[in-house]
Amino acid sequence: EVVLTQSPGTLSLSPGERATLSCRASQSVSNNYLAWYQQKPGQAPRFLISGASIRATGVPDRISGSGSGTDFTLTISRLEPEDFAVYYCQQYGNSPTTFGQGTKVEIK
Amino acid sequence: QLQLQESGPGLVKPSETLSITCTVSGGSISVSNAFWGWVRQSPEKGLEWIGSIYYSGSASYNPSLTSRVTISADTSKNQFSLTLRSVTAADTAVYYCARVASSFVPSAAMNYWGQGTLVTVSS
């Protein structure tokens, strides 16, 4: 199965700063079928991005996804207080679907 | 607004069967543009896809769990359910039901999630 490695494990930033999160796959993700989720404590994951770069309905445009093949990135251009959370990537181009271990974005 | 709500036992004994039901409101599971799935989350394994079902009854499972899991749907009640047999402590997790945002990839991105239900396996 495809192993997704997210880095860094924790990102300590201040509101207004730019966040760059990486998700690297152990093999090429078919059709760039890569999704991103945000999760806050005690809540379910919130769907952000599919197909590596397609924002879900209601996701602000400061959040963007990019990448292809084995290297994918989630960028938050200017961190808002509500953006501090854990972010997960998921690949669904290769069976079985797998998730990364998460990157925590915390307030510095 | 589509809403999903899990209902389950909370505590299951080792070697027994775990059963959780997801009730969907604000939309029908009998639609041709979605699968309905289960994901679990534990500190040890992180997020793990369990499987999903199409309203017609066609189900797909994670190979690591396929020998122990069954997902079924009851369109009359607008519910779908997870059954996991022969549980061990390793099955302790928060179990989420979710809508898969695809009609042709059973394990695609999931755009609506239930709040999750914690299931502990312990005697």
Distance of CA A89 to the CA centre of its chain: 5
Q: What is the pLDDT of residue B56?
A: 84
Q: What is the arithmetic mean of pLDDT over A20-47?
A: 97
pLDDT of residue B32: 67
Cβ–Cβ gap B47/A90 under 8 Å: yes
Q: Taking CB atoms and an 8 Å limit, are A56 and B64 in contact across chains?
A: no
In the prediction, which pLDDT does B33 show?
A: 77
Q: What is the pLDDT of residues B94-114, one digit of tens each?
A: 999 999 998 888 889 999 999
How far is the C-alpha of B111 from the C-alpha of A44, rounded, in Å? Answer: 11
Q: Give per-residue burial for A26-55: e unless 16+ CB within 10 Å, then b.
A: eeebeebbbbbbbbeeeebbbbbbbbbbeb
* CA A58 and chain centroid, separation: 16
Sign of the Cα torsion B59, B63, B66, B69 reads negative
What integer pLDDT is reported at residue B102 of this predicted model? Answer: 86
Per-residue pLDDT of B46-80, as tens digits, reads: 999 999 999 888 999 999 999 999 999 999 999 99
pLDDT in tens, A70-98: 999 999 999 999 999 999 999 999 999 99
Q: Which residues in chain A are closer than 8 Å to B113, comparing Cβ atoms?
A: 44-47
Q: Give CA–CA dist A64/B32, Å, rounded.
A: 29
Scanning the structure block, which residue is given the tokens 């989420």?
B96
B4: its two tokens = 């999903």
Distance from CA of B62 to the nearest CA of A (A): 6
| The pLDDT of residue B22 is above 80 | yes
Other CB atoms within 10 A of residue B46 CB: 16
